[in-house]
Amino acid sequence: MANGGDLMEKLVSLCKRRGFIFQSSEVYGGTGSVWDYGPLGVELKRNIKDAWWRSMVHERDDIEGLDAAILMHPRVWEASGHVAGFTDPLVECRNCHRRFRADNPDIRWTDQCPVCGTKEAFGEPRMFNLMFKTFMGAVESEAAVVYLRPETAQGIFVNFQNVLMSTRQRVPFGIAQIGKAFRNEITPGNFIFRTREFEQMEMQFFVEPGEDDEWFEYWKAKRLEWVHSLGIRPGKLRFQEHSPDELAHYAKKAYDIEYEFPFGWHEFEGIHNRTDFDLRRHQEFSGKKLEYVDPVNRDKRYIPYVVETSAGADRTTLVVLADAYREEELEGETRVVLGLDPRLAPLKVAVFPLVKKDGLPELAERIHHGFRKAAIPAFYDDSGSIGKRYRRQDEAGTPFAITVDGQTLEDQTVTIRHRDTLQQERVAVDRVVDFVRERIA
């Protein structure tokens, strides 16, 4: 089996080859810190986001959805603490002027620039804000400075009263949203693990102070359950608690869900007790009351505590890809398979005519269109040997492959091959859509 670095290289190359993920602006040499999702990647990521939305919004009557704008009033980021506190200590090489995180052990202990090799390269660390700045308004010099949001959460906090009033929810309840966030990370890397533009899937759950610890435990368990439901191997997952010096400025308690990536154990989702920090600060900075008034006992008023679950859609996609990738020996050859859960797989089924004659392509095309009409993503392929066609779909993670052959003309049945077990079975042509539908729900 491939070692960590090898495995990442193979995964990146598979993602490009099969159209999952491309480097952004590749024709210009790429940007390095952002990535584009190709035809299969956009489906995979969308299926992950849909599974999240379904479990966090559609299946619950105590969580509402939201889609807040990326650009917000600049005061939001003063209130949230990001203008003053969202900074990393950086050091700059006195020779090549590259900047590095001062807490990187290689930098800290060697004092040598990893790029140009200069010794005693670094002075005192300087604080560097990770927010992207831009200008709102027609004339740059007069326009207001605004930020690209570094987290989606603040859009939820500033809409807390709007959602409360328009939905008549009562505490405890939550608001969920999926959207882009931007951080000018000093050291992006590891493919889509750390990028400067990424997507978050966040949910803020508003609770009565004093009930926050219990809700924290509830959400911690719920979120791991969801990750398990994606088919991720449990042995590759663990919780890691933030130590007091790692806690964010707003947090009372925080746990990460970590995955053992090919480059080590790292977080891809956090569960945070943000207390009443954000609502209290927005109340202070905006001058608007952000209290909750108990509808039964109107004398009972408080600023709710918030338990937050914050996952990266891209990092979760990397977890799903890394966990699904495997290599097997098959008939003296290496078979590369993405063993994606059928619900997440971008393509659900492929349809092949065994040969390009005797009316088999026409029949296969008809079956293929039957899937398209049923809104089941399907792929038609008649080029190359049948073995090659299977391999391409194994790499794409397609769970089922249908072959139309001579026997189909006689008895109206086709062969369905299962990606993981390689078992083949014959199924009646008019049953194939239901057969696949039942297995991808």
Q: Could you tell me the smallest distance in angstroms from the CB atom of residue 12 to ligand ATP? A: 16
Task: Report the alpha-carbon distance of residue 134 to residue 153 in Å, rounded.
Answer: 20
Cβ proximity to ligand ATP, 137 vs 189, nearer residue: 189
Q: Could you tell me the smallest distance in angstroms from the CB atom of residue 440 to ligand ATP? A: 26
Task: Report the alpha-carbon distance of residue 422 to residue 399 in Å, rounded.
Answer: 10
Q: Could you tell me the smallest distance in angstroms from the CB atom of residue 192 to ligand ATP? A: 7
Residue of 239, 337, 320, 256 whose CA lies nearest to 49: 320
Beta strand pairing call for 173-182 and 63-65: parallel
Q: Could you tell me the smallest distance in angstroms from the CB atom of residue 271 to ligand ATP? A: 9
Cβ proximity to ligand ATP, 179 vs 270, nearer residue: 270
Cβ proximity to ligand ATP, 254 vs 279, nearer residue: 254
Cβ proximity to ligand ATP, 199 vs 381, nearer residue: 199
Q: Are 419 and 399 in contact (CB under 8 A)?
A: yes
Q: Could you tell me the smallest distance in angstroms from the CB atom of residue 167 to ligand ATP? A: 26
- The answer to whether the Cα torsion of 385, 10, 424, 413 is positive or negative is negative
- Annotate 241-271 with DSSP letters as a single string: EPPTTTS-TT-SEEEEEEEEETTEEEEEEEE
Cβ proximity to ligand ATP, 33 vs 112, nearer residue: 33
Q: Could you tell me the smallest distance in angstroms from the CB atom of residue 268 to ligand ATP? A: 5
DSSP-H helix ranges across 54-140:
74-79, 82-85, 105-110
Question: Could you give the C-alpha distances from 119 to 64, 96, 104, 123, in angstroms and in order?
Answer: 55, 12, 16, 11
Q: Could you tell me the smallest distance in angstroms from the CB atom of residue 72 to ligand ATP? A: 17
Cβ proximity to ligand ATP, 194 vs 419, nearer residue: 194
Cβ atoms < 10 Å from Cβ of 224: 19
- Annotate 366-412 with DSSP letters as a single string: HHHHHHHHTT--EEE--SS-HHHHHHHHHHHT-SEEEEE-HHHHHHS
Q: Could you tell me the smallest distance in angstroms from the CB atom of residue 186 to ligand ATP? A: 10
Residue nearest to ligand ATP (CB): 312
Q: Could you tell me the smallest distance in angstroms from the CB atom of residue 83 to ligand ATP? A: 16
Task: Report the alpha-carbon distance of residue 290 to residue 287 in Å, rounded.
Answer: 9
Task: Report the alpha-carbon distance of residue 264 to residue 12 in Å, rounded.
Answer: 17
Task: Report the alpha-carbon distance of residue 11 to residue 380 in Å, rounded.
Answer: 24
- Annotate 152-194 with DSSP letters as a single string: SHHHHHTTHHHHHHHH---SSEEEEEEEEEE---SS-BTTTTB
Q: Hunting for tokens 């002027």 — which residue is that? A: 97
Cβ proximity to ligand ATP, 182 vs 379, nearer residue: 182
User: What residues form DSSP beta bridges with 126?
Assistant: 90
Residue of 243, 248, 151 whose CA lies nearest to 203: 151
Cβ proximity to ligand ATP, 312 vs 397, nearer residue: 312
Q: Could you tell me the smallest distance in angstroms from the CB atom of residue 181 to ligand ATP? A: 7
Residues that bind ligand ATP (CB under 6 A): 151, 183, 185, 194-195, 198, 200, 267-270, 310-312, 314-315
Cβ proximity to ligand ATP, 261 vs 292, nearer residue: 261
Cβ proximity to ligand ATP, 70 vs 440, nearer residue: 70
DSSP 95: T
